[in-house]
Amino acid sequence: GDSVTQMEGPVTLSEEAFLTINCTYTATGYPSLFWYVQYPGEGLQLLLKATKADDKGSNKGFEATYRKETTSFHLEKGSVQVSDSAVYFCALKWYGGSQGNLIFGKGTKLSVKP
């Protein structure tokens, strides 16, 4: 079945460092891909998404490109801030019924030190 694999954490970076969180997926069709972020004590919120191959999603300085050839959707940010400390989830979504639900990776915890 469809699945999402993302790099294990935790990831600890210094402020202004470059961030990459790897995400790869397995899917029979062409799903949409998402990055959700969970700040401490809160629910998940959408960070960015891409709905077809070669689409780039971007928000708050984060970017991810839907790569069909490598089945990847890696999250990047050029200069992280302490306020980016959170858990990041890569997810995919397909059509209808149970497939209309998100399938999540296990999450990557990011800590940014001043």
Residue ranges that bind another protein, judged by CB under 8 A: 4, 31-32, 34, 36, 42-46, 49, 51, 89, 93-102, 104-107
Strand segments, DSSP code E, in the chain are 3-6, 11-14, 19-21, 23-26, 32-38, 44-50, 56-59, 62-65, 75-77, 86-93, 103-104, 108-113
Q: How far is the CB of 79 from another protein (least distance, A)?
A: 26
Q: Is the CB of 31 or the CB of 77 nearer to another protein?
A: 31
Shortest distance, position 69 Cβ to another protein, whole Å: 20
Nearest approach in angstroms of CB 97 to another protein is: 7
